[in-house]
Amino acid sequence: MTISATDLASMLCSRLCHDMLSPVGALSNGLELLAEERDGEMRKRIVELLEQSAKTSADKLKFFRLAFGAAGGFGEMVAVAEPRSLVEGLVSNNERITLDWNVSADALPKPAVKVLLNLSLFGMEALVRGGTLEVGAELNGTTSEIVIRATGPRIAFDETIGKALDGTLPEDQLSSRTAPAALVQALAKELGGGVQYALTGEALVLGAVLPGA
């Protein structure tokens, strides 16, 4: 799979817009209701919903800034507290998912953090009925090793995302849904590493080995 940087960037922007549409739309609708509502209890409830939508929007923007973007402000090494807080932010918006964080390193190279965040995103999306998201990573010398495991009563994983991860997705099938996986594959290839995944009825396991990340 060979994808131009322009096409990949366009698809990632589309994915960002798609994921932000719901919480931002909820904010807009809530403000309209708040302007019309006069009942004190109802206004209180609307404000609570606005606060939740604002939190969801902020959590997603922070996550995608580092997962997809250049993430200016970070050095070559990123303290693992940062990706942990980003994953925790998204998980906190879904009470059916429990996070199990097992990252031994204090810091990881920025490309490895991008891969970790995107693989975590795939894991979260696979848990359509909730479950546990296990995030593991370690740094052996200059090689980053990442493992994401999603377990739950039902696992949903689009095979086109798997094809994008292993580099077999035809270019004309690139979409906003598969663009994050294409980004992970491109990062791994650039570093001379690789990405793998295994899927069963109750678990999705995603792994990456990134030499010199």
pLDDT digits (tens, 9 = 90+) for 174-206: 899 999 999 999 999 999 999 999 998 889 999
Instruction: Calculate mean pLDDT across residues 90-118.
Output: 95
Residue 69 class from Cβ within 10 Å (0-12 exposed, 13-18 middle, 19+ buried)?
A: middle
Q: Within a 10 A sphere around the Cβ of 172, how many other Cβ atoms? A: 6
pLDDT tens figures, 42-74: 889 889 889 988 999 999 999 999 999 876 667
Of 189, 76, 200, the residue nearest 139 (C-alpha): 76
Strand partners, 197: 206
pLDDT value of position 72: 60
Instruction: Find, among 187, 191, 160, 183, the residue nearest to 12 by Cα.
Output: 183
- Beta bridge partners, 151, equal 132, 203
Distance CA 176, CA 11 (A): 5
pLDDT, greater one: 180 or 41: 180
More confident residue, 6 or 116: 116
Which pLDDT value is given to residue 108? Answer: 95
- Which residue range is the domain that position 168 belongs to? 5-211
Residues 125-183: pLDDT tens digits?
999 999 999 999 999 999 999 999 999 999 999 999 999 999 999 888 889 999 999 99
Number of domains in the chain: 1
pLDDT at 62: 93
pLDDT of residue 103: 95
- Residues 92-118 have a mean pLDDT of 95
3-state secondary structure 184-199: HHHHHHHCCCEEEEEE
pLDDT of 112 over the 90 cut: yes
| pLDDT in the model for residue 194 | 95
Q: Is residue 120 over pLDDT 70?
A: yes
